[in-house]
Amino acid sequence: MKEPEKAPPAWLETIRLEHVPETHSVHVAVFKDIENAEFLHQQLLGRNADFEYAFIDASSVVSRLQVLSAIFKSITVQLNGAMKTPNIHSEIVSSLSPTKNISEAYRRYGITPTSKNIIVVRVLISPSTLTAEDVEKHLVDNVQGVSRPLDDKTLSGFTDWSKIRKYYKLNGVGWVDALKDVGVKSKEMEMLVLGGMSLRGL
């Protein structure tokens, strides 16, 4: 673990996921209070190849496991040759959705011109000309925001629960709302979100 005060401007975490081939390396970063969401959104719309990232709006996310789950799903889909979107990064954004509607998934889970806090994911597939250092440098140069770690404590501060309840159809779960223990309650919500993502309109 790096000390927060000595951390570089961008904190890119490299994650080894279980049951993912060595060829795929996963790199994630979180940025708080970003100032150039519109610019980043434009790069995606313009299909700028230098900006092939999954830019996720953190308000639609409840936990680290949810993000990792979307990444894992996209990698398995890519390995199966069954991607429904242009690349593995757009696949990550659409994997967060419990429905099949891709443009809706981009709107709900992807960066928008008004996004405040974002999660950035880059999957490098070898042989790749890029390294984690290249990715980190590119993010430092292009994302104007405060780097934060991808952990549940940070993410829960960004979550917009009214969105989560609407997107994952969790308005009728009174028994979860009635749970007294906050930790148990958020774990239960996370499990319901993962369940919704796993079915994805199937």
Q: x/- binding map, residues 150-189, to another protein, per CB under 8 A?
A: --------------------x-xx-xx--xxx-xx-----
Contacting another protein (CB under 8 A), which of 19, 45, 129, 153?
19
Tokens in use for 23? 């060829």
Helix (H) or strand (E) run with residue 30 in it = strand 24-32
Helix (H) or strand (E) run with residue 86 in it = none
Distance, CA of 46 to CA of 145 (rounded, Å): 22
Binding segment toward another protein, per CB under 8 A, in 20-28, 29-37, 117-125, 154-162: 20-28
Q: Does 73 sit near another protein (CB under 8 A)? A: yes
Q: Does 83 sit near another protein (CB under 8 A)? A: no
Q: Which residue bears the tokens 């993000």?
A: 67
Beta carbons of 4 and 98 less than 8 angstroms apart: no
Distance, CA of 132 to CA of 122 (rounded, Å): 9
Distance, CA of 54 to CA of 93 (rounded, Å): 6
Q: Does 129 sit near another protein (CB under 8 A)? A: no
Beta carbons of 152 and 52 less than 8 angstroms apart: no
Q: Does 145 sit near another protein (CB under 8 A)? A: no
Three-state DSSP class for residue 88:
helix
Q: Does 5 sit near another protein (CB under 8 A)? A: no
Contacting another protein (CB under 8 A), which of 39, 68, 85, 149?
68
Pick between residue 65 and residue 146 the one whose CB is nearest to another protein: 65
Pick between residue 32 and residue 163 the one whose CB is nearest to another protein: 163
Tokens in use for 111? 């960066």
Summarize as ranges the residues that interact with another protein (CB under 8 A).
Answer: 17-22, 65, 68-69, 72-73, 76, 79-80, 82, 170, 172-173, 175-176, 179-181, 183-184, 191-192, 194-196, 198-199, 202
